[in-house]
Amino acid sequence: MSAAMHAVVIDRDDGFALKDAQVPLPAVGEQDVLVRVDAAAINPADQRLLARARENPAISILGFDACGTVVQTGAAVQHIAVGDAVYYAGDVSRAGCFAQYQAVHADLVGIKPARLSAAEAAAMPLTALTAWELLHEHFCLERGRLLVLGGAGGVGSQLIQLAARLPDVEIIASASRPESRDWCLQLGAHRVIDHSRPLAAQLPEAVSHAVLAHHPDAYLKTLPPLMQPFGHIACIVPLAAAADLNPLMQKSLSFHWEYMFTKPLFQPSDRPTQGHILNQISRWLDEGLLRSTQTCCLGPVCAQNVQHALALLASSQTIGKLTFSNL
């Protein structure tokens, strides 16, 4: 194996654009695996990290959804072997997957679903983990009425699919275009409302759980009257301004932040590892109980294709996930 690899890096000398470059192979720790990246996907998290790169010189390689083949394992890794096909979302504090190879902690890695292509599998990890942690670790959801604001996006798509596996949950998704409305219904939403119109007239019955998957500031202000007492509101994207949570008090509403990278950053011992969760997701995908949310593959991982994907995300017109395939 060469000592260098291809990567898409942030060019600080050219207005923080992206460029193709040769960089050293990542170091592999004793609990890491080194993965040859066969496919990757892009997320709004990449947009936010690119913006943060102006203040953080350590940010160089983006990409936090990958599928690939293990080519090296650290000395302490026992449950994953060289040659295994894996998928994962990685760690925001380390170099990302828009590269030929990536080193990642073995506990973050799941075995790739056999029935999916590498690109189809790469569409899943970050959003599936976010949705899983919301439903099962924050909400502990077994029954209720779930509102997903931004149902056709990456996380919204996974929330609908995973919540549809819970028999006593009514799923209400939001979408503003016919194609995104149809997508939500195909994934298992019981009904779809239009988030470009006032919500109150479309929600005659209060909801028990709500997820803010996009533009959270305005919705956080309008949600409390639409919630059941002791309900739960979760947000997966940063707020643009400080929020007043006092309106949540009268109904004893709970507010949750969900950040998929919390586990990789802090490694809490009281929660399932992300690799364990991805293995369950993989089984359901192989059994046909879930589907990949890939809607478009843009070609190989290169600066031009990643820049194009970022522009598509910025348009707010995408459905599901955009991927790249090196195969």
Each residue's pLDDT tens digit, 119-168: 999 999 999 999 999 999 999 999 999 999 999 999 999 999 999 999 89
Alpha helices in 24-141 (DSSP H): 44-52, 118-122, 125-132
Which of 80-91 are b and which e, b meaning 16 or more Cβ less than 10 Å from the residue's Cβ? beeebbbbbbbb
Q: Is the pLDDT of residue 215 over 90?
A: no
Three-state SS string across 141-156, please? CCEEEEEEECCCCHHH
Rg, Å, the chain Cα set: 20
With H, G, I as helix, E, B as strand and everything else as coil, classify residue 274. Answer: helix
Euclidean distance between CA atoms 325 and 119, whole angstroms:
6
Residue with tokens 């479309």: 202
pLDDT of residue 141: 97
Q: Among 92, 124, 99, 115, which Cα is nearest to 34's?
A: 99
Give the model's confidence band at 218: pLDDT under 50 very low, under 70 low, under 90 confident, else very high.
confident
16-61 residue pLDDT tens? 999 999 999 999 999 999 999 999 999 999 999 999 999 999 999 9
Local confidence band at 294 (pLDDT 50, 70, 90 cut-offs)? very high
Q: Region 78-98: what's the mean pLDDT?
A: 97
**Does residue 167 sit in helix, strand or coil?**
coil
Q: What mean pLDDT is predicted for residues 179-190?
A: 97
- Is residue 33 within 8 Å of residue 68, measured between CB atoms? no
Residues of the chain with CATH 3.90.180.10: 4-126+269-325
Rounded distance between C-alpha atoms, residue 137 and residue 131, angstroms: 10
Orientation of helix 178-187 relative to helix 154-163, angle to 10°: 30
What's the CATH fold of domain 139-257?
Rossmann fold (3.40.50)
Interhelix angle 154-163/125-132, nearest 10 degrees: 50
Q: Is the pLDDT of residue 305 over 90?
A: yes
Average pLDDT, whole number, for the chain? 96
> Percent of the chain, pLDDT > 70?
100
Q: Is the pLDDT of residue 214 over 90?
A: no
- Per-residue pLDDT of 134-145, as tens digits, reads 999 999 999 999
Collapsing DSSP to helix, strand or coil, 319 comes out as coil
Q: What stretches of 159-253 adopt beta strand conformation (E)?
A: 168-174, 191-193, 207-212, 227-235
Q: Is a pLDDT exceeding 80 seen at residue 1?
A: no
- For domain 4-126+269-325, say whether CATH 3.40.50.300 is its number: no
Residues of the chain with CATH 3.40.50.720: 139-257
Calculate mean pLDDT across residues 86-93.
97
Percent of the chain with pLDDT over 90: 94
Is the separation of the CB atoms in 33 and 70 below 8 Å? yes
pTM of the model: 0.96
Distance, CA of 131 to CA of 100 (rounded, Å): 28
Q: How far apart are CA 1 and CA 163, in angstroms?
A: 43
- In this prediction, residue 2 carries a pLDDT of 83
